Amino acid sequence: MTDLTRLTIAEAREKLAAREITAVELTDAYLAAIDSANASLNAYVAPTPEKAREMAKASDARIAAGKAGALEGIPLGIKDLFATEGVHTQACSHILDGFEPRYESTVTQNLWNDGAVMLGKLNMDEFAMGSSNETSYYGPVRNPWRAAGSDADLVAGGSSGGSAAAVAAFLCAGATATDTGGSIRQPAAYTGTVGIKPTYGRCSRWGIVAYASSLDQAGPIARDVRDAAILLKSMASVDEKDTTSVDLPVPDYEAAIGQSIRGMKIGIPKEYRLDGMPEEIEALWRQGIAWLKEAGAEIVDISLPHTTYALPTYYIISPAEASSNLARYDGVRYGLRVDGDDIVDMYEKTRAAGFGMEVKRRILIGTYVLSAGYYDAYYVRAQKVRTLIKRDFDLAFAAGVDAILTPATPSSAFAIADEALAADPVKMYLNDIFTVTVNMAGLPGISVPAGLDGKGLPLGLQLIGRPFGEETLFRTAHVIEQAAGRFSPAKWW
């Protein structure tokens, strides 16, 4: 029999519906793959094989009864940031030791309601703070991709490194992920997968461990654009439990795939042409422009003048929100507690032992920028700059631009434990330079594989859409995918 894990969601969906395969067979194939690969890739921190088989069985029963949901029997990996009832949910942090919520996040509940099967919880940067998955309490994820002729371990990107690696290495049919500054799109670009961060408010944040509330959005990482569209359709919803959930019906994203982009106006922002950007990235971008032009799109140069300020703005706003969001991890109601002489001592010891270095760094920065005397200079100023960043996009869209094309990342995947990056947190932060603007403006952004670099590593292009312009993104990304082809790593694990 062919390797079932190679099927895309769309393909598996058909075979399941046609009763050519069963959900249990499909799930077992993935569980076997996880079993043999996870020690090498470290993509899963908590596989849930029993639950998976049980859910798959139920899926088969529903298929037999003619009651199949949109994702019936599709085995998925879930980022450890999503609360899953009775299952390990720790945001890959020591501080949530042993935490098993008595509730299910809205996004995952939506997936189960549509019949999906949970394979387990995926590795990630601790509290989604990182760009390399190296801040995880469970250790870094290894990228299934390696440079040609090298056996050096590369990062899978972050923070959704486990999601991206699991999808790329066929350890799940698709995965949930979240994106606060690029945490879906950057790892997708590093692993040759498709990742979309939808418009802020499209997916409910209820039950997703918060990092920076005004920026966090859930989205899928998938093997191709169609699968991403299928997954997002199920993940997205209007949720009365999330104040920031936007009251708009969820469209059928898959229907957008294959539609022509003729006449569409694609903006090319000059500010994304960075000094010292590798020529390969430039070339990829030019290639992307050419593909879209060939498909009938109109290419226009645009200016987003505050782009350069997005990253520093992000590094004020996100730590500020995080410093407050993470105050609840205090050893009182759940997770780790380290005893102390008194309550303050207990807090300080618990949080010192429970949080990793990067999380502490961001909490301290966030605490500092909100503290008396600095609030206006840092936080308020940053929120004003954020207004300006969003205004840049508003103006571009008002001028008729339908989508914006940029590189997804300034490089391909880098080595695990890169010394230069470890020594300077800011260097690591620069990884998000192309993606973070999108979060600042609340816009949808998709990363789609567009080619390989000289080392044979995948590179991605990013498309940025208008608010709730996800269909345009799927439609346009599909054009790039058609032109660029698909990319899979050579199996070494």
Partner 1 sequence: MSVDIDTVKRVARLARIAVSEEEASRMTGELNGILGFVEQLSEVNIEGVEPMTSVMPMAMRERRDVVADGGIADDIVANAPVSDRNFFLVPKVVE
Partner 2 sequence: MTLVDVRTPDPKRLIPGATGDWEVIIGMEVHAQVLSSSKLFSGASTEFGKAPNANVSLVDAAMPGMLPVINEECVKQAVRTGLGLKAEINHRSIFDRKNYFYPDLPQGYQISQFKDPIVGEGKIVISLGPDRQGHFEDIEIGIERLHLEQDAGKSMHDQHPTMSYVDLNRSGVALMEIVSKPDMRSSDEAKAYMTKLRSIVRYLGTCDGNMDEGSMRADVNVSVRRPGEPFGTRCEIKNVNSIRFIGQAIEYEARRQIGILEDGGVIDQETRLFDPGKGETRSMRSKEDAHDYRYFPDPDLLPLEFDNEFVGRLLADLPELPDDKKTRFVKDLGLSVYDASVLVSEKAIADYYEVVAAGRDGKIAANWVINDLLGALNKDGKAIEETPVSPAQLGGIIDLIKDGTISGKIAKDLFEIVWNEGGDPAAIVEARGMKQVTDTGAIEKAVDEIIAANPEQVEKVKAKPALAGWFVGQVMKATGGKANPQAVQTLVKTKLGIDE
Name residues contacting partner 2, limited to 194-253 (CB under 8 A): 205-210, 212-214, 240-244
- Binding-site member from 30, 44, 272, 379 for partner 2 (CB under 8 A): 379
Minimum CB distance to partner 2 smaller for 259 or for 324: 324
Which pair of tokens denotes residue 367? 């605490």
- Binding-site member from 328, 384, 387, 492 for partner 2 (CB under 8 A): 328
* Strand runs labelled E in 372-412: 403-407
- CA–CA gap between residue 34 and residue 314 (Å, rounded): 35
Amino acid identity at 281: I
Interface of this chain with partner 1, residues 233 to 252, rule: CB under 8 A = 240, 242-247
Position 345 contacts partner 1 (CB under 8 A) = yes
Position 387 contacts partner 1 (CB under 8 A) = yes
Going by their DSSP bridges, the two strands 298-302 and 403-407 should be labelled as unpaired
Q: Which residues are catalytic?
A: 79, 159, 183
Which residues, 6 or more positions from 58, have their beta carbon under 8 angstroms from its beta carbon?
Answer: none
Distances 477 to 176, 282, 460 between C-alpha atoms, Å: 19, 18, 11
- CA–CA gap between residue 486 and residue 482 (Å, rounded): 8
CA-based nearest residue to 220, from 479, 405, 446: 446
Position 205 contacts partner 1 (CB under 8 A) = no
387 binds, among partner 1, partner 2, none (CB under 5 to 8 A by kind): partner 1
- Binding-site member from 120, 157, 187, 442 for partner 1 (CB under 8 A): 442
- For 69, half-sphere exposure in the C-beta direction (CA atoms, 13 angstrom radius) is 22
Residues in contact with partner 1, counted by CB under 8 A, come to a total of 77
R_g (Cα) of the chain, nearest Å:
21
Minimum CB distance to partner 1 smaller for 226 or for 337: 337
CA-based nearest residue to 234, from 60, 389, 108, 361: 108
Shortest distance, position 438 Cβ to partner 1, whole Å: 11
- CA–CA gap between residue 382 and residue 62 (Å, rounded): 51
- CA–CA gap between residue 212 and residue 224 (Å, rounded): 28
The 8-class DSSP code of residue 83 comes to -
Quick count: other Cβ atoms within 10 Å of Cβ 360? 16
Position 80 contacts partner 2 (CB under 8 A) = no
Shortest distance, position 416 Cβ to partner 1, whole Å: 20
Position 367 contacts partner 1 (CB under 8 A) = yes
Going by their DSSP bridges, the two strands 265-269 and 298-302 should be labelled as parallel
- Selected range binding partner 1 among 273-281, 285-293, 348-356, 399-407, rule: CB under 8 A: 348-356
- Selected range binding partner 1 among 129-137, 227-235, 253-261, 344-352, rule: CB under 8 A: 344-352
Minimum CB distance to partner 2 smaller for 146 or for 351: 351
- Binding-site member from 68, 229, 310, 320 for partner 2 (CB under 8 A): 320
> Nearest 5°: phi and psi at 365?
-60, -45
Interface of this chain with partner 2, residues 85 to 144, rule: CB under 8 A = 89, 91, 96, 99, 101-103, 105
Residues in contact with partner 2, counted by CB under 8 A, come to a total of 44
Which pair of tokens denotes residue 170? 């066929």
320 binds, among partner 1, partner 2, none (CB under 5 to 8 A by kind): partner 2
Footprint of partner 2 on this chain (CB under 8 A)? 82-83, 89, 91, 96, 99, 101-103, 105, 205-210, 212-214, 240-244, 320-321, 323-324, 326-328, 330, 332-334, 343-344, 347, 367, 370-372, 375, 379
